[in-house]
Structures are given as structure tokens and as C-alpha cells.
Amino acid sequence: MTPEGQVRRDAQALGYAGLLPFAAGALAPWVFPAFANAFLGWLLAYGAVILSFMGGARWALAMTSPEARQGRLFSGLLAAVAPALLAWAMLVPEAILPIPLAFRLIVLGVGFALLLLDDRAGARAGEGPAWWAPLRTRLTIGVEAALAVAALRALTA
């Protein structure tokens, strides 16, 4: 296997493994209703961490982009920082920021969708390996499904 193939395989394996906590956090509140809010809070925290992490990946891609080589990097870096700020805002305690849990989960989903759109635009501009955008799309579909199931549960909890 080529080094590029190995990197792709490893990224896919770890990416799909990263969906497991999303699936667990989305399904556990339905299976264990007495602990629904605990599981939903755990999923919110995990989702915020991963959204921040993906913003960091976006930062790395922006740093190596054609725009960076031309000294036009601010918008790419801003797009990379925005996911972490959004994720952090969704973790602010409800006593300070009175947003229901279901809405917080939905906002995370919007953040993941917007980040995917930015990643796909970056891929069209030549950022990252060719397999990056298709993998991100598949992983984001999994994340979005989990967050939707969890938000539905939060509305009924």
C-alpha cells in the first residue's frame, strides 16, 4: 500500500470510529430514558469537541492553501475558528445562555453542515487530498443523523 493509501485508510477508520460516540449518544437516551438528559449532555459535549477539532483541521488546510501562499489567509482562518466559537457557545450553561438542549444540538448540526460546505469549497480549490471531501461528506451525514435523532429525543424528554 502506498503511503497516501495508508493515510486514507487510517483517516477513514478513525473517522468512522469517531461516529460511534455520536451513535451511542443519540440512541442511549431512547434506550435508557431515565438517563436521557445525561446522555444528551454528553453528546452535546462530544459534538462540541469534534466540531472544534474539525475547525482545527480546516485551519491546517487553510494554512497550506493557495490563498495562504499569496498572503490572503484571514478569511480561511476565520472560517476555521468559527466552529470552535460556535461549539463553545453551545456549552455555555443554560443559566447563563437560556437555549434549550434540542436547539443547541441543532445549532451544532448547522455548524457541522456549514463546515462541510467550507471544506468542500476548499477541496474544489485544491486544498487537501482528493479523498478528503467525500470522506467528510459521509462522516457529516452520520453526525447530522445522530444530532437529529438526539434533538428529537431532547424535545420529548
**Is residue 134 pLDDT above 90, yes or no?**
yes
pTM: 0.93
**Secondary structure class of 117 (helix, strand, coil):** helix
Residue 31: pLDDT band (50, 70, 90) is very high
What are the backbone dihedrals phi and psi of residue 23, each rounded to the nearest 5 degrees, phi first?
Answer: -65, -45
**Is residue 109 pLDDT above 80, yes or no?**
yes
**Is residue 126 pLDDT above 70, yes or no?**
yes
**Is residue 65 pLDDT above 90, yes or no?**
no
**Is residue 69 pLDDT above 70, yes or no?**
no
**Is residue 68 pLDDT above 70, yes or no?**
no
> What angle do helix axes 101-124 and 74-91 make, rounded to 10 degrees?
160
Check: CB of residue 152 under 8 Å from CB of residue 103: no
* Mean pLDDT of all residues belonging to the chain: 93
pLDDT at 72: 65
Look at 6 and 66; give whichever has higher pLDDT: 6
The predicted model gives 124-149 an average pLDDT of 95
User: Which positions ≥6 away from 86 have C-beta within 8 Å?
Assistant: 51, 107, 108, 111
